[in-house]
Every structure is written in C-alpha cells, then in structure tokens.
Structure 1
Amino acid sequence: MSASSIPGRLRRMNKTQKLSVAGISAVAAAALSLSLVPGNADAETEPQAISGAPVVFASAAGSSQAKTIQASVIEQHSTAAQLIKASDAAKAKAASKAKAKKAEAKAHAKAKAKAKAKKAAAKRGKQGASRSESRTPVFSNNLDGWIKESLAIMKSKGIPGTYDGLHRNIIRESSGNPKAINDWDVNAVNGVPSKGLLQIIKPTFDAYHVGGTPHDQYDPVANITASANYAADKYGSIDNVNSAY
C-alpha cells in the first residue's frame, strides 16, 4: 500500500495509531502469503503443469487460518477507529475546557473592572462631597453677611424675599442693630416688646421660627428668617412690606 493510498486522516494519526495500522498491514500480508501456499507443499517436488482450469492452492487448514487472520485484521481496524475516536474526543474535551477557562477569565476580568469603576465612582463622590463642603460659603458677621446667610436659608426652605426687601425693612425697623428693642409701643405695654433686626414679637417669632436657626429673637439670622417667613404668610413676601407690619 503506497503512502498516497492511505487516507489523509490516517496520515495524521499519532505514533500509537500508526503502529496499530502497520500491524494490520503485516497481518494482512501474512494472510495473503498463506493463501498462496498449497496445503501439501512438502509432497510437491516437481513443478506442476498449468492447465486451463483454476487452481486452488489453499488447504482447509490454510482457509481456517486465513479466516482467523481476517478476523484479527477486522479487530485491528476496529481498534484503530476507536483510537481515532478517543483522540478526537480528547481534543474536543480539551478545546471545551480551554473555552470555559477563557470565558471564566473574561467574566473575572469584567467583574474586576466593574468593581474598580464602582470604587472609583465612590471615591469621586466622596471627593466631590468634600469639595462641596470646602465651598460652603462663610458669611461675614455683619448686616451684609446676616442678610446673605438668611437668604440662603430662605431659599432652601422656599421662603420668598430679596436682599433689597430685607435690607430696606431692617434699616427702617432697627437701623441694623440686632439688639434693638421697642419698649414703648402697644406690644411693649402688653409685655411682648418687639426685638431684633426686624422687630418681631415673641409669639410671632415662636410661631414662624425657621428650623436650623437659633431659637433666639436677638440672633440676627433667626430674627430675619422668622420675620420673612411671617411676612410671606401675611403679605406674600417681605418685599411687599413698606411700613410697620
């Protein structure tokens, strides 16, 4: 059998498979040789004349041996096929395992990247909050600062009012003195004098006090925000107040 007559798949077999096929070829050759030897070879001393009729060389014993060899050849072929099948199965299993390992590595890398991104986002959020805190305005401790701080609180609470409206009423009511007190009007006579920058009485201050500010009529920001809250309820806004209120 020439190399070109061997199927391409057998040419790609491993060493074990090649040895098996070589053994099969040897056994087949032996079978062919036996089939060509006459059963009574020892008795033949002279060449026999060739007649026109077919000559049967194999004896009964030779025929039985040929069948045995043929069975062996078939078995060897079956073994070779099984080896090829096992090899293919092993390759498929290895490829599947490699694919699964690759997928696992990819999933691990993806999870790691996601965790890293989440951590980075949390860090940015923390840094942003820190920067926001560092940007918290510091208001000066004077009339301008008190009005600006009050406006910031009013905005967060939804209380209307402008710098001009607050400043105008403060100057009219107390001239900007946070400790101012009216001890002569009807409120003073009734024991509840008007106090602070916007001259608010205690019952009104208590009713309209804005959370987050000191509960103190003389506190500038607490006084302004409570008065603005009251004015918004009664007049729509402190901006609408132009006289005693």
Structure 2
Amino acid sequence: MAARGKHRRPRTSPLTRGVVAAGTGTAALALPLLGATTASAAQPAKAPAAAQAAAQVKSVTYTTVKGDTLYGIADKYDTPGGWRQLYKDNRKAVGDNPRLIHEGLELKVRTAKKADKASTPTKKSAQSVTRATQASAKTYPNNLDGWIRQAMDIMAQKGIPGSYESIHRNIMRESSGNPLAINNWDSNAAAGTPSKGLLQTIDPTFAAYHVAGTSFDPFDPVANIVAACNYAAARYGSIDNVFGAY
C-alpha cells in the first residue's frame, strides 16, 4: 500500500507463519559454571552478568484489556524470549490463535524490569482497570462485521472517513475476509514487504498510517482496517473512492 508497488488480490494463501516455533528467537539464559577455586581467590567471585540477569527475571500476573497483543505485552514487560515465550507460557489461556487476544485473560508474564507501581500493576489493580474498560466500552462480535464496526467507531473518533459498504467491498477483494492473509508473490513481496491482513497493507504503510490506540500488529483486523482507511483517506480522500488495487 506504500508508494512502492501496488497491491493485488492475494491468491488463497493464508498466513502460515510459525508462531509457535519455540526454537526461533528465544533467548537462552546461560548459567554460571562452578569450577575449582584457587588458593589466591581470597574474595568471592562476582556472579557472571548472565546469572545476574537470570536472577532478576520474575513473573507478574497481567489481565488483558481491549487492544492488547502478545507482542505489545511482551515488549512492555521486556519479557525474555518475547511474545513467543509469553504465548508458550499461556497457551492454555490464550488458545490456538495468538493473534486474537480476548479481554480479561490472566496471563503469567516473565519480566526483567524492576517492579514498581507504575510499570507492574498488581493483579487487583489490573482487574479494576479491566472492569472499568469493559463497563465503558462497546462490545463487538469477533467476526468481520464486528471488526468493521469497531474500526468505524475508532475512525469516527479520529476523523477518518469511510463507509461500511466500502470497507467491506475492499476487504472482500483484497483478502476475502481472512485477517491472516498474506501476499507472497507480488512486487511488494519481491521487495521484502509482503501485503498483510484484511486490507493487505505492507509494513511501511501500516507503520506510517497506524492509528494510536490500536494494535501494532498488522494482522490485527481492527488495526489493519483503521490504518488502511487512514492511508486511503490521505491518498484518495476516502476508502469510499477505492475500487481496485491501491
């Protein structure tokens, strides 16, 4: 969707990224080796840096709120191993799809950050925030209709134009309604930036037109719609004016 290349309708190629490949990108924490001491070792040796880092890792309980992603939570708490480790630790609670996180889940989060009131909420305070969010926010069904309606409410708050009919029409052309669709064959893919999600945004475009308050994951359906409509508004005046590859 950026100036480089055009989007084309993806062939039926749903996302097949290995989201649970625990061997990829997972940091290994090295433990110190205990060797024989020498007579000259009058002072106790300082613990290796890796051991000190391991000792600082602790777990907190985090209750998810609307808009959360595993990537965002892992980034916030500096979780060793990133979102893959977070998913591995909480797969039973999250379910089989790590990209769709429901509100109110209690996750065990490993964190290397120092505990403080500002960055590490207690279980009780996190639940209070969740209840307040649920009480004040509208609820949407977890399907294409719900994603579009939620995106339109966000767009209305941000002044981004776009009608339900136009958003739906473009989604069906670009991804057939599959939020995990990815295009691995066009010019954008050849350049290393494949089109992703419901409205097939490439990463640079998604980042440039991302709307605050939505997920930073381009496969998040609501975030993808809002960013794409924001881009369409800047380039074409509105998603309503888009009737083909854009």
Classify the TM-score, shorter chain. 0.3 to 0.5
Higher relative contact order (CA 8 A, sep 6+): 2
Higher helix share: 1
TM-score relative to the length of structure 2: 0.45
TM-score relative to the length of structure 1: 0.46
